[in-house]
């Protein structure tokens, strides 16, 4: 019996090793020779400017620029379940950046997730999306990065433990989860929708945050845009599973992606703030509209039409009633700390004074966003001009924040109560203090 198990295990092991070997050979890539790339003046100003807009859409700076560091010089650590992985220096520095990369090496990195030296890159670098970007757009990106000021900056070593840090193992990951493709137009849909989908699935990689991942870090097939946790925030579902009281429409999506806030949903804070304010703000209006058209389809906007005025009215009535009647700790905290700014007694919700009965964070399945906003407020970069949502981390205990969140949930949404709120608040506080080992 034992012997049988032993030989069984042995042949399983042999098969595993054979599979890894096959994947390794199949995905083996040569180093590409270092080159002296064209001088900055050789790139057309037009290509460079187009590259600048595309780099914003691809949110490259969010990962490749460390807080307080030089633009694109790398060193920002990304916390993954496997350890911290540092985004690299993508300035054209010849020693520490991509200054000796040919266009071919750059294209291969973006399309296949392979470094110039032939090493496999980790999929926190969203090459799984960038492979859909057109030749012309990738060439413009190359022009943009090759004309940035070169910065000498050595990327810190990753903290991924052995054996997961072995790059050849990424060949196995690619075999399981990655098929390079190019964008194929869906002729049944209009130009605008196709443009939106091309941007969303490719360069803007919206799914990288909004789609849940499996245990090996790959986006789950069949679960596109169903919502996922990211950096102690929650990226809500963008499908009809979205729980915001008012279903997203094309106009609301456009306003949110263009300005970062809408009266009927809330503010793009946390990681979404950089997407809007440091990424897409340079993109032409036509591209933002195209994204809104595509995601209106993803959200099933046509099928989810509601009487918006009625929902707004009922929400405001609910907010007013409950805050007067309830007399528990959560309600008292709300009256003391929040009501002065968040009351809409005149019956009209405005973006500058978010109506919490309509706010996405209060209705989301995960309390992370509401907790973050109560603790840390909304940063100047994410805020609408001229207003301030202050943070209450110093004024309120974990238990206070939990009671307040539970109260808002109970009084201003139709969703089930959140559980383990106090522990979630403690975790959110710990991260802000940089206690998770990563962060900018």
| Nearer to ligand HEC (CB atom), residue 87 or residue 171 | 87
Shortest separation between residue 200's beta carbon and ligand HEC, angstroms: 6
8 A C-beta contact, residue 201 and residue 207: yes
| Nearer to ligand HEC (CB atom), residue 295 or residue 418 | 295
| Nearer to ligand HEC (CB atom), residue 11 or residue 240 | 240
Q: 213 in helix, strand or coil?
A: strand
183 Cβ contact partners less than 8 Å away, ≥ 6 residues apart: 132, 133, 134, 197, 198, 201, 202
b vs e for 284-310, b when ≥16 Cβ sit within 10 Å of the residue's Cβ?
eeebbbbbbbbbbebbebeeeeeeeee
| Nearer to ligand HEC (CB atom), residue 3 or residue 88 | 88
8 A C-beta contact, residue 176 and residue 27: no
d(CA 93, CA 121): 20
Shortest separation between residue 118's beta carbon and ligand HEC, angstroms: 11
| Nearer to ligand HEC (CB atom), residue 66 or residue 374 | 374
Q: 230 in helix, strand or coil?
A: strand
Shortest separation between residue 311's beta carbon and ligand HEC, angstroms: 15
| Nearer to ligand HEC (CB atom), residue 4 or residue 245 | 245
Shortest separation between residue 46's beta carbon and ligand HEC, angstroms: 18
| Nearer to ligand HEC (CB atom), residue 257 or residue 438 | 257
| Nearer to ligand HEC (CB atom), residue 55 or residue 146 | 55
Q: What is the dihedral of CA 365, 367, 369, 373, to 10 degrees?
A: 150
By Cβ distance, which residue is nearest to ligand HEC?
A: 266
| Nearer to ligand HEC (CB atom), residue 175 or residue 259 | 259
| Nearer to ligand HEC (CB atom), residue 53 or residue 60 | 60
Q: What is the dihedral of CA 31, 35, 41, 44, to 10 degrees?
A: -40
Shortest separation between residue 168's beta carbon and ligand HEC, angstroms: 12
Length of the chain, please?
A: 440
8 A C-beta contact, residue 392 and residue 337: yes
Copy the structure tokens of residue 160.
């991924």
C-beta atoms surrounding 94 within 10 Å: 14
Shortest separation between residue 203's beta carbon and ligand HEC, angstroms: 6
Shortest separation between residue 396's beta carbon and ligand HEC, angstroms: 7
Shortest separation between residue 244's beta carbon and ligand HEC, angstroms: 4
Shortest separation between residue 16's beta carbon and ligand HEC, angstroms: 23
Shortest separation between residue 266's beta carbon and ligand HEC, angstroms: 2
Shortest separation between residue 12's beta carbon and ligand HEC, angstroms: 29
C-beta atoms surrounding 6 within 10 Å: 10
Q: Which uninterrupted H or E stretch holds 194?
A: helix 191-201
State the helix-helix crossing angle for 191-201 and 285-298, rounded to 10 degrees: 90
20 Cβ contact partners less than 8 Å away, ≥ 6 residues apart: 168, 169, 171, 172
d(CA 322, CA 413): 12
| Nearer to ligand HEC (CB atom), residue 360 or residue 413 | 360
Q: How far is CA 3 from the centre of its chain?
A: 50
Copy the structure tokens of residue 386.
């001229």
DSSP 9-67: HHHHHHHHHHHHHHHHHHT--PPPPP--PPPGGGS-HHHHHHHHHHHHHTTHHHHHB-T
């Amino acid at each position: 019996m034992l012997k049988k198990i032993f030989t069984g295990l042995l042949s399983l092991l042999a098969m595993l090793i054979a599979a890894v070997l096959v994947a390794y050979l199949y995905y083996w890539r040569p180093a590409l020779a270092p080159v002296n790339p064209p001088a900055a003046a050789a790139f057309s100003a037009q290509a460079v400017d187009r590259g600048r807009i595309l780099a914003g859409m691809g949110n490259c700076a969010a990962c490749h620029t460390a807080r307080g560091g030089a633009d694109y010089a790398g060193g920002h650590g990304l916390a993954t379940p496997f350890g911290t992985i540092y985004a690299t220096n993508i300035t054209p520095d010849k020693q520490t950046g991509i200054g000796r990369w040919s266009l071919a090496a750059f294209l291969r990195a973006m399309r296949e997730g392979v470094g110039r030296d032939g090493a496999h890159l980790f999929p926190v670098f969203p090459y799984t999306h960038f492979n859909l970007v057109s030749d012309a757009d990738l060439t413009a990106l190359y022009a943009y990065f090759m004309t940035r000021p070169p910065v000498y900056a050595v990327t810190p070593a990753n903290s991924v433990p052995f054996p997961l840090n072995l790059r050849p193992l990424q060949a196995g990951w690619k075999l399981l989860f990655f098929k390079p493709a190019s964008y194929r137009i869906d002729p049944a849909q209009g130009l605008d929708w196709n443009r939106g989908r091309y941007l969303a699935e490719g360069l803007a990689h919206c799914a990288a945050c909004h789609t849940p991942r499996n245990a090996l870090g790959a986006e789950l097939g069949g679960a596109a845009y169903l919502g996922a946790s990211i950096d102690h925030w929650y990226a809500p579902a963008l499908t009809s599973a979205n729980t915001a009281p008012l279903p997203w429409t094309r106009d609301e999506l456009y306003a949110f992606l263009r300005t970062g806030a809408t009266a009927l949903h809330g503010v793009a804070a946390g990681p979404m703030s950089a997407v809007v304010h440091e990424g897409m703000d340079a993109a032409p209006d036509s591209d933002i509209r195209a994204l809104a058209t595509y995601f209106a389809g993803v959200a099933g906007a046509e099928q989810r039409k509601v009487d918006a005025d009625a929902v707004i009215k009922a929400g405001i009535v609910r907010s007013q009633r409950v805050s007067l009647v309830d007399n528990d700790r959560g309600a008292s905290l709300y009256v003391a700390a929040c009501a002065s700014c968040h009351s809409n007694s005149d019956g009209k919700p405005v973006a500058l004074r978010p109506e919490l009965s309509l706010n996405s964070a209060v209705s989301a399945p995960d309390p992370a966003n509401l907790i973050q906003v109560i603790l840390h407020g909304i940063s100047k970069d994410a805020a609408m001009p001229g207003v301030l949502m202050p943070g209450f981390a110093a004024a309120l205990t974990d238990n206070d924040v939990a009671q307040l969140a539970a109260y808002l949930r109970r009084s201003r949404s139709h969703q089930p109560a959140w559980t383990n709120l106090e522990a979630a608040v403690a975790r959110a506080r710990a991260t802000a203090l940089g206690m998770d080992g990563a962060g900018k």
